[in-house]
Amino acid sequence: MYDALTTRYSFACPAHGEARVTLSAFRRVERLPGAAHPALYRVTFACGCGDEHVGLVSHDELDWAPLGLAVGTFLNLMTARLDDVARELGELAARRIEAGEWPWSFFCYPEEQPRPVFPSSFFLLAPGDRRLGLAVRCPACAKLSVNLVSREHVDVPFHNDRQIGVVRHVFADDAERALEEFRAELYSACFDARRLGLD
């Protein structure tokens, strides 16, 4: 399902048969009730056909596969042997995490500090002109924060933007409804007109 070499997930597409999308093409990530090991997530993603589709992703595919832990082997042309890439990438990821560098991070506004996170904590992703609105449920305080980040910040593990935008708002318990309204407003002509009026 996830290809670590191209950093793309494969899903079914009714129009083209298969869609290969990056993590930044996800629009909504929702954990399904039921089994905890492995947990299963319903994702809504923007497809190349122009529509949004729904797919299912396991916890391992969502959080661990982008680190290259299940890549497998490759033929090393220098030694003419099959080398295990997963072990090498796993060791590299472990060293970076031990050094305090996390694959993904976001800024938790209620706690006023950066936090390490995995894609399973993502809630809503809304694309803009050059930035991506990323709603994340903090694993520490369980509150929602919205950050404005680059697509690479989401797509490439261990790529953390030097600066991110933070929506300075503490979302109420009905945050899902508020975030859906925020997403709808981002796509509306009303938002574009208001944004242009500020320039």
Is the pLDDT confidence value at 80 over 90?
no
pLDDT at 198: 41
- Record the pTM: 0.79
Q: How far is it, in rounded angstroms, from Cα 126 to Cα 71? A: 29
Q: At 193, is the pLDDT very low, low, confident or very high (cuts 50, 70, 90)?
A: very low
CATH number of 2-66, picked from 2.60.40, 2.40.50, 2.40.128, 1.10.287: 2.40.50
Q: At 197, is the pLDDT very low, low, confident or very high (cuts 50, 70, 90)?
A: very low
Q: Which two structure tokens, joined as six digits, stand for 20?
A: 């290969």
Residue range 171-177: average pLDDT?
65
pLDDT tens for 46-68 read 999 999 999 999 999 999 888 88
DSSP the chain: -EETTTTEEEEEETTTEEEEE-GGGEEEEEEPSS--TT-EEEEEEE-TTSSEEEEEEEHIIIIIGGGTTT--EEEETTTTEEEEHHHHHHHHHHHHHHTT--SEEEEETTTTEEEEE-GGGEEEEEE-SS-EEEEEE-TTT--EEEEEE-HHHHHSTT---SS-EE------TTHHHHHHHHHHHHHSHHHHHHHHHH-
Is the pLDDT confidence value at 134 over 60?
yes
> Average pLDDT of the chain?
85
Residue range 20-42: average pLDDT?
91
Q: What is the dihedral of CA 173, 179, 180, 185, to 10 degrees?
A: 140
Q: What is the dihedral of CA 103, 144, 40, 4, to 10 degrees?
A: -20
pLDDT at 83: 80
Indicate the domain borders of the chain: 2-66, 68-101, 104-198
Residue range 66-88: average pLDDT?
80
